[in-house]
A and B are shown apart, each in its own frame.
Chain A
Amino acid sequence: MPEPFLELVDISKSYPGVVALDHVGLQVSPGEVIALIGENGAGKSTLMRVLGGVVEPSGGVIRVDGAARSSLTVADAIKAGIAFVHQELNLFDNLDVAGNVFIGREPVHGGPLRLIDRKRMYADVAPLLERMGCDFAADAPLAELSLAQRQLVEIMKALSLDARLVIMDEPTSSLTLAETDRLMRTVAGLKAHGVSIIFITHRLNEVMQCADRAVVLRDGRVVGALTRAELSPAAMIRLMIGRDLKSLYVPPAAPPGDSVLEIVDAVTDTYPGRAVSLSVRRGEILGLAGLVGSGRTELARAVFGIDRLRGGAIRLDGEPIRIESPRAAIEQGIYLVPEDRKGAGLLLDVSITENISLPDLASYMRFWLVDTARENENAACQRERLKIRAPDVKTAVGSLSGGNQQKVVLAKWLSMQPKVLIVDEPTRGVDVGAKQEIYGMLRRLTDAGVAILMISSDMEEVIGVSDRLAVMHEGAISGFLDRSQFSEHNVLQLAVGHTIAAEAP
């Protein structure tokens, strides 16, 4: 094995109240493919951001070609030959392939006019295209390329910068199987040229396929490293979990009642070939787990009437209903706390009061005018009930912390009569204290007879709060779990598309 050119030693990073990285070490040798795995929030992205020079570590040493330093800048990282292929690609779809590869450092001619030397640009891209085995031309407009092809463009951009290390953050999450295969071949090709790769993924099959070794992170620490010989899905899952989840679970006051919301063979635009069926009962919290991109949010959007369902039916209390707009869903008592709090949940520069009353303004109406006194009264009451920490209800919600903003979104719906409440990542960006309060509120709602569907990628939350679990994988339900079957192992198995029975110990 050749000498490592990049070494991370004892890298730590803490934010107030949170340790994101705890004495993490990592060595990268030329031509090595390292899989970096771990659950959401294990610290993978933070570690990569340290490598990219975006995050400054609180402690530790980074050694590039033997020279030690405490942190990198973005320029250092580029100079050291570290390149990123992000999950969300940073490309311009109004430019062609060559224009994207050379963005910001286009070859110029014409002296002071600084005209783009198109000939040279295309000539320089040609060998890269050949090396990657691309089936598109240097002057192909990016807008016409598929996602997988765009990824190749991003990789070429990295290579044209003489990258020695390419970091790929979940590169296959939106690729088809054939495209994934091709990416695997590209990875092998890069490796053959001596380029190292760090591959972040949730898909253990891919790790098996391409990695020389795997590094497993959990709660900001390296909890294990597996050599090629030791790699197996079971070993990886064992390392990724292996901790006692703090028990957050508060059992419901009464056993769940009849089904309130039934989703029958629902098909969304994202996964046209897959159908989802599930039902949520009165007084229970049904957790909906799965990897990011497994189709959970799309399902929620369709049930709430933001998108149309392609097929299938929705039943409320046994009666089939048609939901063609959010208005229709709200009139039926189906409410959604969206994933994108700032974009879809709130009007940021508007007061708490006006945010809370927005979906239900009609009930504050007197002769078509808004009864602001009653509106403020209700907001004050919700503020009390949900412990929204703000100077007063006239405060703009944009100035509140994430947890308090989320409570305002909840307060919108709690002021009305929820039958079914769908919460999508209810505690993302919410501090620990507010999390507990939100969980408490969800439980009080179910005890009052509400049915809750909770979409979450936070394992602790999924296991600690739900009464029952449905796990999605690529647009379909891969399994249901009762509380007695709850374990990180089972959830992960289902989320990556395995069945529990096949892998059960």
Chain B
Amino acid sequence: MNKKDLSLLVLILVVGTVVALINPRFLYVGNLSNTANQIGLFGIFSIAQAFIIIIGGIELSVGSVIALLGVLFIDLIVNHDVNWVVALALIIAAGLAIGLVHGTLVTRMRIQAFVVTLCGLLIYRGAARYYTEDATAGFGFGASFPTLEWLAAGRTNVLGFPLPHSVVALAVVAVIAWVVLHRSVFGRYLFAVGKNEEAARYSGIRTNRVIVSAYVICGGLTAFSAILIAMYTRSISPAVHGSFYELYAIAAAVLGGCSLRGGEGSIIGVVLGTVLLQVLQNLVNLLGIPSSLNFAVMGTVILLGVLGDQYLVQRRQRVGVAKRGEQTSVAAAPLERVKAE
């Protein structure tokens, strides 16, 4: 855990303590379990987003993908009697395919990620609404998938705490993502491409392939979270389901130390960022703040967090420069000479 993650953890504990002091209901088992469930659901697609941000891209279609794939999943198992295991596999495959298309457009066609995924945001939302004729998709009377419901949206009692299965899913995803990003060869490539694509290419990394892989991973994870979210809400109104989720994901990633310039970020940070966002959401409810202010509170906290971080970074740099002052002037001399030449 690096310094950034640590300070984020401290911030979460401070906010949590303050909320608990003002309204003890924060610590009620029911409340904590529900908040944990939200964290589980939001954490998975935030990690998906982090893969893209680390390679220096952006994925804006997350919310729309969650709506479209959620609608399709429910339609498959409810109206077309597809076995849910097959449906799950199909939906994940669809998510991977969406990622493949996005990645290919970004690398081969050289379209900016922002534009590609903005178009995705509009297209998938429209597709979801057209497919259901804007009607709410849900489980009809009597439709029941006990195993799937238990797996996706159930809770298991762990030492008296009803642990939502979405949290278990997030834990598994986070551990795998952590190993991939921070320990594997592929993770190194992701960071290298995000930091300096040119230098990565000169080191023999197939940069396009790495970028496409990141979008594919993001698509797959988003599809997975779309199923969990669909099973949790149990009914999907395609016009609003998942809207703004891409921004939650970007916010969590940025809070967690990802730089939108690419090449930076940690999985622990992204998970903690998700936790903070959900605690803030909970805070708005518990402290009697009008829920219309929800976004405003989140925006303010993110802004303050980023400002504080920037301040710390700059202070560290000033101290560093002062310390190295002597050395640097000597080291810089040959470089100056080059410019002079």
Residues of A within 8 A of B (CB): 13, 15-18, 20, 40-41, 43, 45-46, 49, 55, 304, 306, 325-327, 329-331, 336, 338, 343-350, 354, 358-359, 361-362, 364-365, 368-370, 399-403, 412, 428-431
Contact = CB atoms under 8 A, between A and B. Distances in A.
Contacts of B195: 347, 349-350
16 contacts: A15-B333, A43-B341, A45-B341, A329-B204, A346-B199, A347-B192, A347-B199, A348-B196, A350-B195, A359-B205, A361-B185, A361-B189, A401-B334, A402-B331, A431-B333, A431-B334
B199 A343 contact: yes
A361 B184 CA distance: 10
Interface string B301-335: 00000000000000000000000100001110111
A325 B192 contact: no
B198 A18 contact: no
A13 B204 CA distance: 42
A368 B340 contact: no
A326 B196 contact: no
Interface in B198-212: 198-206
Given A326-B204, A401-B334, A361 B340 contact: no
Nearest to A389: B331
A57 B196 CA distance: 37
A387 B305 CA distance: 42
A343 B206 contact: no
Interface in B36-58: none
Contacts of A345: 199, 202
B331 A401 contact: yes
Nearest to B206: A327
A218 to B, nearest CB: 13
Contacts of A46: 340-341
A370 B334 contact: no
A306 B202 contact: yes
A306 B207 CA distance: 12
Contacts of B330: 16
Interface of A is mostly: mixed
Given A347-B195, A350-B195, A361-B188, A402 B179 contact: no
Nearest to A372: B183
Contacts of A15: 333, 336-337, 340
A465 B331 CA distance: 25
B333 A306 contact: no
B159 interface: no
A402 B198 contact: no
B205 to A, nearest CB: 7
A401 B330 CA distance: 9
B186 interface: yes
Contacts of B196: 343, 346-348
Contacts of B206: 325, 327
Interface of B: 179, 183-186, 188-189, 191-192, 195-196, 198-206, 263, 324, 329-331, 333-341
- Candidate in B179, B324, B336, B337 with the most chain A CB atoms within 10 angstroms: B337
A429 B206 CA distance: 29
B198 A343 contact: yes
Would you list the 8 A-B pairs with minimal beta carbon distance, nearest first?
A401-B331, A330-B204, A359-B203, A46-B340, A41-B341, A429-B338, A16-B333, A431-B334
Interface of B is mostly: helix
Contacts of B189: 361
Contacts of B203: 326, 358-359, 412
A354 B201 CA distance: 15
- Candidate in B186, B198, B203 with the most chain A CB atoms within 10 angstroms: B203
Given A343-B196, A361-B185, A429-B334, 19 more contacts: A18-B334, A40-B341, A41-B341, A45-B341, A46-B341, A55-B340, A326-B204, A346-B196, A347-B195, A347-B196, A359-B203, A368-B185, A369-B184, A370-B183, A370-B185, A402-B335, A412-B203, A429-B338, A431-B334
Contacts of B263: 347, 349
A306 B197 CA distance: 12
A304 B189 CA distance: 20
A426 to B, nearest CB: 13
Contacts of A49: 340
B188 A18 contact: no
Contacts of B333: 15-18, 431
A344 B188 contact: no
A402 B186 CA distance: 29
A276 to B, nearest CB: 21
A364 B185 CA distance: 9
A20 B192 contact: no
A174 B189 CA distance: 37
Contacts of A347: 192, 195-196, 199-200, 263
A43 B204 CA distance: 37
Contacts of A346: 196, 199
A315 to B, nearest CB: 21
A18 B331 contact: no
A370 B199 contact: no
Contacts of B337: 15, 18, 20, 429
Nearest to B339: A45
Contacts of B199: 343-347
A359 B334 CA distance: 28
A304 B185 CA distance: 23
A271 B190 CA distance: 35
Contact of B202 (A338, A354, A369, A370): A338
Given A362-B185, A429-B334, A326 B202 contact: yes
Contacts of B200: 347, 358
Contacts of A431: 333-334
Contact of A429 (B192, B202, B335): B335
Given A347-B195, A350-B195, A306 B334 contact: no
A43 B202 contact: no
Contacts of B336: 15
